[in-house]
Every structure is written in structure tokens, then in C-alpha cells.
Amino acid sequence: MSHPTPVGQRDTSVVPRYAGPGTFALLPRLDEVGGADVAVLGIPFDGGTSFRPGARFGPAHIRECSRQLHPYHQVLDVFPFASQQVADAGDVAVGPYDIGRAVSAIEAAARDLTGGGTRIVALGGDHTVALPLLRAAAAVHGPLAVLHFDAHLDTWDTCHGARLWHGSPFRRAAEEGLLAAGHCQHVGTRGGVHHPGELDDDRAAGFDIIDSEAFQQRPVADVVDRIRRRLGDRPVYVSVDIDVLDPAHAPGTGTPEVAGLTTRELFRTLRGLAGLDIVGCDVVEVAPAYDHADLTGLAAAHTAWELITLIARGEPR
């Protein structure tokens, strides 16, 4: 049986997976292939974190945990690294002290990629990074349907006087007109609400909520159907905060919340979205200092792989 050969991906029959440079999934660097349909972009920034820091080390940890990713997705029947050129674009050169300056640097780096037609799978970093990524994607595709997997809403306003932090990216995005009103969906929400008025603010930002309890009350297929109806046929941005998973599945994160999704529930949900036009995505809030046996890093690496596969299975461009 012949297998499609990903351009530039390391031949693991020659060099073992545990050896050599640790690009994402042992893919080529972007400068080695000249251009890419999909770029994996690290964003080592956690200056917007409100509780446990450390997500700045997330991209390196996720890459290291991605060494065992394989070229064929047997559930969706796709060779995601061969049906499209995927490359590792390295990390954004972003400083740790000035949030506004960091957001501008991330946006500039993202626009450089998306302006040439590349779709980004970003590795965070805290959830602040979603705002500049949304800006870059919306500049190309217009207002976006957003699918947001997270224990928290992230549509709050300010925190300790800051308007840019990891709890505000989707509120700021809504204010800037980046979101397609009525086509945005939270999934896995279960914590972090101080007052019912915050839920009103969330609805005003254009979101609907599927909380973690939904996965105990109905089949995953029903959840997927609700998501697909909400997103419609618009360009979709997918944002995955790894704390959507229960701490038993992803302990290495900055704001863990109990009673979350399992990795199986998350992946079954993602796989049900095949065919959507996913124009960008991120996997964020991996804090390796709190990880055990690489549980969180492995979950994040495989989540990014699922997203790359969904892009390969998406609508024709």
C-alpha cells in the first residue's frame, strides 16, 4: 500500500521520533518549504494570566508532546499533512511586560501569514492571544463564527484595570465587529461566573452556551448538531482553552475547573465538525509546570492535530 508523503516531514523510519529537532509533529519549518496552507504558530505569552502563570512555556511543551503524531487520521480518513502543506512557523517574538505591545506583535505576525492565504493553528500562550488572531482572520474572511471550548466565558470586561487579559478576548472582539453576531458558541462552560449579569453580557457579545452538563444529559451527536446549526455556513474560528477538559485529563493549566469534558468527548465533538470552513484556530492555556506525565501536553498536541485534520476536511477554498 502506498502512502502520500508529506512534503518535508521527517522520515521516522530513519530518524526515531524522539530524536532530532522538535518541530510540531516533526513537520518542516516554514522557511524550509517556502509557504504553507496551514502554519503551526507558537505564541509564548502569558502576561494576561489572572491566576497560575506559565503558559508562555506552552508552545515548546506542546511541540515536544507532538512527536508521536502520525500522518494518517483513521477516524476521518485523512492524511492531514499530505493533502495540504503544513509547516511549523516557529514562535512569535513577543515580550512579557507590555500586553498591548504583545498583542500588536502577535497581530502583525498573524497578518503576515494570513495575508498570503495561510491558515493558522496557534499554540498558546494564554487566551489573550485569541484577540490578535481573530483580528488577522477577520481581516481576510470578514466577521467570524466562533466556536469556543472553555471552562470560562472570556467575555468579561476589565480585570485590575486591564482591558486586555485572558478573560476579555471575545468581548473585545465583539466590540471590534470581528464576530458574526448570533453565530458564536461556547462549549464546556462551567466556572468563573461572579454574577448572573455576566451571562447577560455574554449574550450581548453574541454567544450561546453549551455547558459541561450537556455532555451528561444528551449524546455528543446532539451537541454537535446544535453547534453546527449555531455556526451555520460562515467562516469559523475555533478556540480551544485546554481547561475545557477536566483537570483529571489536563491538570497543566492556569485556571483549572473541576467537572469538565473528557478528551474523548472533546475529540468526538471536534470530529463531528468535519466539513466546516475553519479559517483559523488556537489551542491555549497549557502551563507545563503543573502538568503530570505530559497529560495536558499530549491532549493539546492531539487537539491541534484534530484541528489541522478538520481544516484538511473543510469546504473548498
Q: Which residues are within 8 A (CB) of 112 and not within 5 positions of it... i.e. 6 or more apart?
A: none
| % of the chain at pLDDT higher than 90 | 88
Residue 7, in any domain of the structure? no
Q: How far apart are CA 45 and CA 295, in angstroms?
A: 21
Nine-digit cell string for 78? 485523512
pLDDT-derived band at 8 (thresholds 50, 70, 90) equals low
Residue 16, in any domain of the structure? no
Q: How far apart are CA 235 and CA 295, in angstroms?
A: 31
Each residue's pLDDT tens digit, 52-82: 999 999 999 999 999 999 999 999 999 999 9
Residue 1, in any domain of the structure? no
- Mean of the per-residue pLDDT values of the chain: 94
Q: How far apart are CA 284 and CA 239, in angstroms?
A: 8
Residue 209, in any domain of the structure? yes
**Average pLDDT of span 2-13:** 65
Q: How far apart are CA 45 and CA 101, in angstroms?
A: 11
Nearest residue to 112 via CA among 170, 46, 30:
30
Residue 214, in any domain of the structure? yes
Total domains in the chain come to: 1
Q: C-alpha angle with apex 96: 92 to 100, nearest 5 degrees?
A: 80
Q: How far apart are CA 167 and CA 148, in angstroms?
A: 13
Q: What is the CATH number of the domain that holds 96?
A: 3.40.800.10
Q: What is the 3-state secondary structure (H, E, C) of the chain?
A: CCCCCCCCCCCCCCCCCCCCCCCHHHCCEHHHHCCCCEEEEEECCCCCCCCCCCHHHHHHHHHHHCCCCCCCECCCCECCCCCCCEEEEEECCCCCCCHHHHHHHHHHHHHHHHCCCCEEEEEECCHHHHHHHHHHHHHHHCCEEEEEECCCCCCCCCECCECCCCCCHHHHHHHCCCECCCCEEEEEECCCCCCCHHHHHHHHCCEEEEECCHHHHCCHHHHHHHHHHHHCCCCEEEEEEHHHECCCCCCCECCCCCCCECHHHHHHHHHCCCCCCEEEEEEECECHHHCCCCHHHHHHHHHHHHHHHHHHCCCCC
Residue 12, in any domain of the structure? no
In this prediction, residue 316 carries a pLDDT of 41
Cβ–Cβ under 8 Å, residues 124 and 286: yes
Cβ–Cβ under 8 Å, residues 129 and 241: no
| % of the chain at pLDDT higher than 70 | 96
Q: At what angle do helices 263-271 and 220-231 cross, to 10 degrees?
A: 50
Each residue's pLDDT tens digit, 223-279: 999 999 999 999 999 999 999 999 999 999 999 999 999 999 999 999 999 999 999
pLDDT-derived band at 4 (thresholds 50, 70, 90) equals low
pTM reported for the whole predicted model: 0.95
Residue 85, in any domain of the structure? yes
Domain limits at 94?
25-312
Residue that is written with C-alpha cell 512527536 in the block? 67
Residue 75, in any domain of the structure? yes
Each residue's pLDDT tens digit, 208-227: 999 999 999 999 999 999 99
**Average pLDDT of span 161-183:** 95
pLDDT value at 5 more than 80: no
Each residue's pLDDT tens digit, 13-34: 677 778 778 899 999 999 999 8
Each residue's pLDDT tens digit, 113-141: 999 999 999 999 999 999 999 999 999 99
